[in-house]
Chain A
Amino acid sequence: MEFSLTEEQELLQETVRGFVAKECPSPRLRELFDAGEGHDAALWTGLAEMGLAGLAVPEAFGGAGLEVLELALVAEVLGAGALPAPFFGHSLATLALALGGSEAQRMSWLPRLATGETIGSVAFAEPGEAWDPSAWRLCLDGDRLTGAKRFAPHAHLADLLVVGIAGGGLALVEPRTGGVQIERVDGLDRTRPLAHLRFEGAVAEALAQGGAAAPRVRDAGLVLLAADAFGGAWTLLEMTRAYTLVREQFGFPLAQFQAVKHQLANLATDLEPTRALWWFAAHAQDHVRDQAERSAAIAKAHVTERAVQVARGALELHGGIGFTWECDVQFWFKRALFDRALLGSPAQHRERSARLAGW
Chain B
Amino acid sequence: MTDNKLKAIIIDDEKLARDLIRNYLKQFDTIEIIDECENGFEGIKSINKNNPDLVFLDIQMPKLNGFEMLELIEENNNIIFTTAYDQYALKAFDVNAIDYLLKPFSKERFNEAVNKVIGKINNTNDPLTKNSFPELLSTDEKLKRIVVKKNNKIVIISVDKIKYLKAEDDYVDIVTPDGSFLKQNRMKYYEEHLPDPFIRIHRSYIANLNEIKEISLLEKDNHIIILKSGEKLPVSKSGYRKLKEVIK
- Do A and B assemble together? no
Spell out B's residues near A (CB within 8 Å): none
Interface residues of A (CB under 8 A from B): none
